[in-house]
Amino acid sequence: MTWNERNAISPHSEYLYQKAREKADSGEYEHAIEMLHQAVEHSPKNYHALCELGNCHDYMSRYEDAVSYYDKVITLDPFNADAWFNKGMSLKKMGRENEAATCIERSIDLYFGRA
C-alpha cells in the first residue's frame, strides 16, 4: 500500500499538488494556492498540499496564514520535521522569537530521530 493510499490521497489531489508545486516554483503563488485548495478539497489529509499552502503564504509574507497551514500539517503528522521548521521560520519573521525557537528545536529533534 502506498503512502497516498494509506492517507486516502486521491490521484487527482496528487496531480493538483504536483502542478501547484510547478506554479510555486515559478513564483506564481496565487495560482498555486488556488490549485492547492482544490487538492485539499479532494483529499483533506494531503499534508503535502497543506504544507505547500503554508510555504506559498510564507513567500507572500502572509505569515499568520502560513503558520495556520503548518499547524494543520502538525495536527495530521506531529512528527513532520519540515512543518515544525517552517512554522518556526514564519514565527521568527513575525517577531515571535521564543515560539520560533521552540518549533525549530522540535524540528531538529525530529530530523535527528529524537522524537
The pLDDT tens digits for 15-71 are: 999 999 999 999 999 999 999 999 999 999 999 999 999 999 999 999 999 999 999
| Host domain of residue 80 | 3-111
Predicted confidence band at 1 (pLDDT cuts at 50, 70, 90)? very low
According to the model, what pLDDT value does residue 2 have? 46
The candidate with the shortest Cα–Cα distance to 38, out of 78, 73, 95, 46, is 46
* Assigned C-alpha cell, 37: 485548495
Q: What is the pLDDT of residues 90-113, one digit of tens each?
A: 999 999 999 999 999 999 999 999
The structure's pTM equals 0.91
Total domains in the chain come to 1
The CATH number for 17's domain is 1.25.40.10
